[in-house]
């Protein structure tokens, strides 16, 4: 069995979109997930990509993915990586693929001189929390994640 971690390529788009929808279902938010293959392809593979991705393959089949983007630490004065989504298809779980994706992104940070690898996890996702604790990641209990979207976002933006 051959397992490989590599940057995503355009041919991975359908698999990535399927995993995004599977992740949305897993976190009980399937109705909110409307992303399309065209949107993901444009975001990942345009001349000015706004997100990046790595996939894990098992015998050539896309088994897992991590979608990420650069953020910036004003305190360190350098970029970091923020993982937006990390997902392993159920039949490929318990093989270490999520850990290997994290290892690959940590390597990207070190290679590029980035000082942080960050992400969020739902407080009920005990398997993911165990993985993150196991790699030495530290929860940030002093921070509360906030999101503004949909009608509240439009209301704050005001007339336009």
Task: Give me 22's structure tokens.
Answer: 């599977």
> Alpha carbon of 117 to those of 80, 113, 122: distances in Å?
6, 11, 17
Task: Give me 146's structure tokens.
Answer: 């906030």
Helix (H, G, I), strand (E, B) or coil at 49: coil
User: Which percentage of the chain shows pLDDT scores above 70?
Assistant: 99
- Contact present, 91 and 19 (Cβ < 8 Å): no
Helix (H, G, I), strand (E, B) or coil at 77: coil
What kind of fold does domain 3-157 have according to CATH? Aminopeptidase (3.40.630)
User: Which percentage of the chain shows pLDDT scores above 90?
Assistant: 92
More confident residue, 1 or 66: 66
pLDDT at 16 over 90: yes
C-alpha angle 19-25-29 in degrees, rounded to nearest 5: 120
**pLDDT of amino acid 124:** 93
Mean pLDDT of the chain: 96
């Amino acid at each position: 069995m051959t397992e490989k971690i590599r940057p995503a390529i355009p041919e991975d788009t359908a698999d990535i979109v399927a995993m995004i929808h599977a992740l949305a279902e897993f976190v009980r938010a399937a109705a909110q997930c409307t992303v399309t293959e065209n949107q993901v392809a444009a975001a990942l593979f345009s001349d000015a990509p706004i997100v990046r991705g790595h996939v894990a393959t098992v015998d050539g089949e896309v088994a897992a993915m991590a979608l990420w983007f650069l953020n910036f630490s004003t305190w360190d004065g350098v970029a970091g990586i923020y993982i937006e989504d990390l997902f392993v298809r159920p039949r490929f779980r318990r093989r270490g693929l999520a850990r290997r994706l994290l290892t690959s992104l940590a390597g990207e940070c070190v290679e590029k001189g980035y000082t942080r690898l960050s992400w969020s996890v739902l407080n009920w996702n005990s398997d993911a929390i165990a993985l993150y604790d196991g790699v030495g990641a530290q929860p940030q209990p002093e921070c509360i994640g906030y999101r503004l979207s949909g009608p509240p976002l439009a209301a704050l933006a005001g007339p336009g």
